[in-house]
């Protein structure tokens, strides 16, 4: 939390305790986060701190837009095995060709490259499922981005998008210029997700 700057909009915080002698399946349904910890992934009791971020001075790769909240994740001890992380996104995946348009992205929380996201290889998305799944053994800020300049399919209407903008989150993803200027910043995520987690 000390590394988060004043641009960050915090939606919620959660602390999970993992015990090394058994597996865990932990959900934070309110903010669309779940964690699977296999047996033996931690050597002893380990804390996993998760902060759901609804907006901030995020810089995403050219041609992408965030379609999930961003989760600042930290663990108190080194992991022996990867954890399985599932994040909720706001894209309505109706066919398999759309699943390839979603990618996990990660960013450091500390300067000089704070909130500069890059695409993470791996992860999976499936038709009809609003969650993406990825194995991780190192953490910082993690989210899901839509790759490409086409329309983002979603199940929500557009009527409330401007309302969330006026609340200081500047989330109108369809007008973002991130793809044109790699160093431009995005103050948040796709507004359908803001509505989803409120």
Each residue's pLDDT tens digit, 92-104: 999 998 999 999 9
Domain count, the chain: 1
Instruction: Give all strands (DSSP E) within 56-111, no chain letters.
Output: 57-58, 64-66, 70-75, 83-88, 102-107
Residue 3 lies in a domain: no
Angstrom distance (rounded) from CA 27 to CA 18:
13
Domain that holds residue 161: 9-197
Which parts of the chain fold into alpha helices (H)? 96-99, 161-164, 191-197
Tens-place pLDDT, residues 147-196: 985 567 664 333 323 222 223 333 333 333 333 333 343 445 544 444 44
**Residue of higher predicted confidence among 140 and 169:** 140
Residue 38 lies in a domain: yes
Cβ contacts of residue 51 below 8 Å, gap of 6+? 1, 4, 10, 12, 13, 14, 71, 72
Tens-place pLDDT, residues 34-91: 999 999 999 888 999 999 999 888 999 999 999 999 999 999 999 999 999 999 999 9
Residue 85 lies in a domain: yes
CATH (domain of 52) = 2.60.220.30
Residue 122 lies in a domain: yes
Cβ contacts of residue 152 below 8 Å, gap of 6+? 65, 67, 90, 91, 146, 173, 174, 190
Taking the CB of residue 20, how many other CB atoms lie within 10 A of it?
15
**Residue of higher predicted confidence among 20 and 67:** 67
Length of the chain: 198
8 Å CB contact between 84 and 35:
yes
Residue 4 lies in a domain: no
* pTM for this prediction: 0.76
């Amino acid at each position: 939390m000390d590394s988060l700057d004043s641009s960050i909009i915090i939606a919620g915080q959660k602390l999970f305790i993992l015990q090394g002698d058994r597996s865990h399946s932990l959900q934070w349904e309110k903010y669309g986060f779940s964690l699977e910890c296999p047996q033996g992934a931690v050597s002893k009791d380990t804390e996993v701190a998760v902060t759901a971020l609804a907006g901030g001075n995020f810089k995403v790769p050219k041609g992408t837009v965030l379609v999930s909240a961003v989760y600042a994740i930290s663990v108190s001890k080194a992991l022996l095995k990867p954890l399985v992380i599932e994040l909720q996104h706001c894209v309505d995946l109706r066919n398999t060709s759309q699943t390839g348009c979603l990618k996990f992205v990660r960013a450091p929380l500390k300067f000089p490259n704070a909130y500069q996201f890059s695409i993470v290889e791996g992860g999976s998305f499936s038709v009809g499922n609003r969650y993406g799944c990825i194995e991780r053994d190192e953490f910082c800020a993690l989210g899901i981005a839509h790759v490409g300049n086409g329309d983002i399919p979603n199940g929500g209407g557009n009527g409330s998008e401007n309302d969330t903008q006026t609340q200081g989150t500047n989330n109108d993803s369809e007008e973002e210029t991130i793809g044109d200027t790699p160093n431009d910043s995005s103050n948040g995520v796709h507004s359908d997700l803001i509505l989803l987690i409120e």
